[in-house]
Amino acid sequence: MKTKATLIGFTAILMWSFLALMTAASGTMPPFQLSAVTFAIGSLPGILLFIAKPERLKELRQPPKVWLAGVGGLFGYHFLYFTALRNAPAVEAGLIAYLWPLLIVVGSALLPGERLGWHHIVGALCGLAGTALIVGKNGFAFDPAYSLGYFTALLCAFTWAAYSLISRKFEKVSTDVVTGFCLATSALSLLCHLALETTVWPDTMAQWAAVIGLGLLPVGLAFYVWDYGVKNGDIQILGVSSYAAPLLSTLILIIFGFGEISVRIGLSCLLITGGAVLAARDMVFRKSERAT
């Protein structure tokens, strides 16, 4: 049961690896509008389940703190992520945003019962070095043309790390509530869109396909399976395996023509991913000891 749940949770990481590609391919839809549409699509699986089993609607009755953490995490993260990709190159913005695994590991080490070791500090420094390489085009000079995109990508990483760490307190909350998080996030995004943005719809079928794909997978199903995996599987294995996301995301963007291979991008990817794995050293060895 635990192994199965862990594997189910891992599929979320695979889907999130396509988030940058699908966002970049979705056209020029404003961030709030894109959030409203994709989260509405993402809520459909849960709505269909509620129609089939109306008795499960009671799972939506949760304390305000659960709703605040869930909606704040989903709405905040995705708005910042979409904004980052609209204001900076997709590869760089995606890699900065994927600092969240490193932040989760370092943050987890500061929780009760954990300790901060040298490998956590060195891992964090590796991640910072990788970020410096990403934003330092033409050497280490910061390019002000992409400052908004870089800054929102960094805020995005902190938002998801905070959401993930806080959500550990709600392990008994049913995954059904994710449907409510998606609906609330869609509604908030729609209000912000109507107040702040001009409506722009996709121009081509390919762009529509990317928007629908976002809603069904990285902004939809991924949250359900991740929630199920974290609550019923091995959260430490899932945490370690999430460090594959930056590398997979970058390779996917390059394969589909949204980025170019370079020594700088390769070194940045190695530093960020390697630093995160180093920071998670205790998790890895703990699993090895249990297996022997």
pLDDT at 140: 47
Query: Nearest 5°: CA angle at 138, between 272 and 122?
Result: 25
Global pTM reads 0.79
**pLDDT for position 89:** 80
Residue 200: CB atoms within 10 A of its CB come to 12
pLDDT of residue 159: 92
- Asked if residues 136 and 281 have their Cβ atoms less than 8 Å apart, the reply is no
Q: State how far the Cα of 244 lies from the Cα of 101, in Å rounded to an integer.
A: 10
Give the pLDDT of residue 123.
Answer: 81
Q: What is the pLDDT of residue 166?
A: 81
Q: What is the pLDDT of residues 205-233, one digit of tens each?
A: 999 999 999 999 999 999 999 888 877 77
In the DSSP assignment, the letter for residue 176 is T
Contacts of 280 (CB under 8 A, 6+ apart): 105, 123, 239, 240, 243
Distance, first Cα to last Cα, the chain: 21
Which residues, 6 or more positions from 129, have their beta carbon under 8 angstroms from its beta carbon? 271, 275
- Please report the pLDDT score of residue 222 as a whole number: 94
Rounded to whole angstroms, the Cα distance separating 240 from 106 reads 12
Residue 232: the pLDDT is: 78
Q: pLDDT of 109-152, one tens digit each?
A: 776 666 677 777 788 888 888 777 766 655 545 578 888 998 99
The number of beta carbons lying within 10 Å of the beta carbon of residue 182 is 29
Task: Give me the phi and psi of 134, to 5 degrees please.
Answer: -65, -50
Mind giving me the DSSP string for 237-249?
HHHHHGGGHHHHH
Number of H helices, E strands in the chain: 16, 0
Q: What pLDDT, on the 0 to 100 scale, is given for residue 285?
A: 61
Quick one: which of 181, 174, 177 has its CA closest to 231? 174
With a cut of 50, list the residues of the chain below it in pLDDT: 140
